[in-house]
Structure 1
Amino acid sequence: MKRLISFAVALSLLACEKEPNDYVSIEGKVNNGKTDSLVVMGRNFRKTIKVSENGTFKDTMKIKDGFHAISDGSREAYLYLKNGYELEVDIDMEKFPESLSFNGEGSVTNDYLKRKIQFIKDENLANYNQFFELEKEEFDASIASLKAKMDAMLTETKGLDPEVIQMEKDANNKMIIFFQDNYETEHKALIGLKKGDPSPGFSYPDQYGKNVSLEDLKGKFVYIDVWATWCGPCKKEIPFLKEMDEEYKGKNIAFVSLSIDKMENKDKWLKMIEDEDLKGIQLLADNDWNSDFVTSYNIRGIPRFILLDDKGNIINSNAPRPSDPNLKELLNGLAL
């Protein structure tokens, strides 16, 4: 009889366990700023969440588990959302998107995602040529160190969703394999253009149709931004590049923005120059990715930044981005 009673009690306890929701519940508060809505976006998914006057928001949504973006309309951060999550998100608009903090079901995974994104920025992994430029011994050590850091970040985070663990393992392995498989080819292409070598030249029209060449800029240091109107990361650098142009006005340096938009998109390029009030020297390459200057530097991803001295020699063929504080440190060390 006692066994039956115990069994019945166990069943009743199990029956009272909360079943996971088949939707995501997301709520939180917006601090230090005002916005009337936030937008959550995923693959074939978009939902606008109303933000009250006191900054709070709350909503539910049924989604396909995976990575999503949350945006205030001009900036965005990334979330991992899974049906069943009851996620609390606090946002400081003065430091968005870095300011996101999480509580509730799903917070562990999203804290990890936030740290991983910051790690990618801190390691400047978008600039993968920094690894390919290294000699083999230093390259191997750098890649081993990178792998160890990513593995440690993953194993030290307790409570991650199993599917996220597997996705991260796969993504980390693919990154390491990419570096290892492409080292020989990329290294050979890059070492042809070393610090101190004369830079390949260019001569391309500006927005007024006047050709500007590298030879025309001899006597000035030159900071070149290779970009395109369709490139999101390129456009994110525009405000920082404009700040640099203003800060170093009157100094012996020219800021050159070299677009690799296709010729049939010339009007889009001209319109962006006008709409964004782009500064510096604006040039349009003659043959997009296949333009001589672009192929000479083996440019396969943009934005790409190049810094030359006043004699036209290479200081850094993969210079820091305008948003990177290291650029000002580098420029301030030159005799501008």
Structure 2
Amino acid sequence: MMKYRKLYTGSCLTAASLCVSYLSVAQVLSGASQPPKQAITYLLPDGKVFPIEKLDSLNKAWGKVFFGHNDEDDAKGIVRLIRMTDELKKQFEDADAKRTQAVASMLNKPAPDFKLTDLQGKRWTLQDLRGKIVVLNFWFTSCAPCIEEMPELNELVKDYDGKNVVFLALTFNSGEQVKTFQKKRTFNYTLLPNSREVDKKYQINLWPTSIVIDQAGDIKMIMHSSPKVREEITSAVNSLM
């Protein structure tokens, strides 16, 4: 018997209060992946339930299937299947253009300072971290590509345990939303909620985004969702040690 596992690729774009990104489904042998904790219901734009095993046929009909969801959908186990439209395509193209521009304008430049408080009430500023390598991850609780890469990011924290590297995860979600998220998921970065103003400073328009900052406070790497996120961050961090 074959099972289907959701695989999220690409980056998350917020549109119409939804996290929107690519959705692909891979067939894997029974037992090769963990069974889902919650049954997932896939909905077409008209609200009808869609059998996910027929996704290949929908991809052929639509050209590319995107998925959208938010915190409320997550609680109900709902994923909304979205067809590529000219408007959505333009949003992704605009976001990609802004990303390219942001990388060009920020790379090897001083990282904007920030002041945020973690879930334990500790105050964090970038200025206080001078002399350390800082790895930032911009994410949010209903961003599936963000969640997909968390196991790799957690391994990074283990890799550099006891070394002069700090891992901070910034989200525009509230502290309460993050605490609720933590009941279901493990993310071992230091979690800093209420980061919306910091997101603007760093020109974040796609999630997840990882940024590596050197000991002098300069940005040395900016990357978005990647299956090699651990490898690429490791390479960037090691080049600074």
Q: Shared fold (TM-score greater than 0.5)?
A: yes
CA deviation after TM superposition for structure 1 residue 296, in Å: 1.8
Partner of residue 42, structure 1: 42
Contact 2:111 2:213 in 1 (8 A): yes
Question: Which position in structure 2 is the counterpart of 1:282?
Answer: 191
CA distance in 1, matches of 2:209, 2:107: 16
The residue that corresponds to 2:102 in the other structure is: 190
Letter in 2 for 1:190: A
Q: Cα–Cα, structure 1 residues 210 and 33, in superposed 2: closer, same or farther, change >3 Å?
A: closer
Unaligned runs of 5+ in 2: 1-26, 65-82
Amino acid at match of 1:167: W
Given that residues 234 and 302 in structure 1 are in contact (C-alpha distance below 8 angstroms), is that contact kept between their aligned partners in structure 2?
Answer: yes
Structure with greater strand percent: 2
**How far has the Cα of 1:269 moved from its partner?**
1.0
237 and 315 in structure 1: CA distance in 2 versus 1, 3 angstrom threshold: same
- Following the alignment from structure 1 to structure 2, what is the Cα–Cα distance between the partners of residues 294 and 258? 8
Query: How does 1:54-133 map onto structure 2 within 5 Å?
Result: 69=52, 79-81=55-57
**Structure 1 residue ranges, 4+ long, deviating more than 6 angstroms after superposition:** 34-40
Partners of 2:106 and 2:188 lie apart in 1 by 29
Give, in whole Å, the separation in 1 of the partners of 2:157 and 2:119: 18
Residues 329, 257 of structure 1: CA spacing in aligned structure 2 closer, same or farther, 3 A cutoff?
A: closer
Identify which of 300, 312, 315 aligns with 2:205. Answer: 300
Where does residue 259 of structure 1 map in the other structure?
Answer: 171
Instruction: Give runs of aligned pairs for residues 145-294 of structure 1, distance below 5 A.
Output: 164=60, 167-168=62-63, 174=86, 178=90, 182=94, 186=98, 190=102, 193-261=105-173, 263=174, 266-273=175-182, 275-286=184-195, 288=196, 291=197, 293-294=198-199
* 8 Å Cα contact 2:156-2:230 kept in structure 1: no
SS at match of 1:237: helix
Report the 3-state secondary structure (helix = DSSP H, G, I; strand = E; otherwise coil) of the residue aligned with 1:80. helix
The structure whose RCO (Cα within 8 Å, separation 6+) is larger is 2
**Cα pair 2:156 2:234 within 8 Å, conserved:** no
> Is 2:221 aligned against 1:309?
no
CA distance in 1, matches of 2:28, 2:192: 44
Could you tell me whether the CA contact under 8 Å between 2:206 and 2:224 is conserved in 1?
Answer: no
**Counterparts of 1:225 and 1:267, CA distance in 2:** 19
Seen in structure 2, the aligned counterparts of structure 1 residues 323 and 45 have a Cα distance that, compared at 3 Å, is farther
How big is each residue's C-alpha offset from its partner over 1:234-293, in whole Å with a ceiling of 9 and x where there is no partner? 2222222111101121222111011111x4xx212123346534323221235x3xx1x2
Q: RMSD of the TM alignment (CA)?
A: 4.1
Give the secondary structure class of the aligned counterpart of 1:317. Answer: strand
Paired residue type of 2:55: L
SS at match of 1:279: coil
Equivalent residues of 1:307, 1:319 under 8 A apart: no
Cross-structure match for 2:70: none
Q: Residue 241 of structure 1: SS of its match in structure 2?
A: helix
* Structure with greater proportional helix content: 1
Give the superposition deviation at 1:214: 0.5
| CA contact 1:258–1:283 (8 Å) conserved in 2 | yes
- Tell me, which stretches of 5 or more residues in structure 1 are unaligned? 1-27, 47-62, 71-77, 83-112, 114-163
Structure 1 residue 180, shift from structure 2 partner? 10
Compared with structure 1, are the counterparts of its residues 180 and 335 closer, same or farther at alpha carbon in structure 2 (3 Å cutoff)?
closer
SS at match of 1:208: coil
CA contact (8 A) 1:319 1:327 kept: no
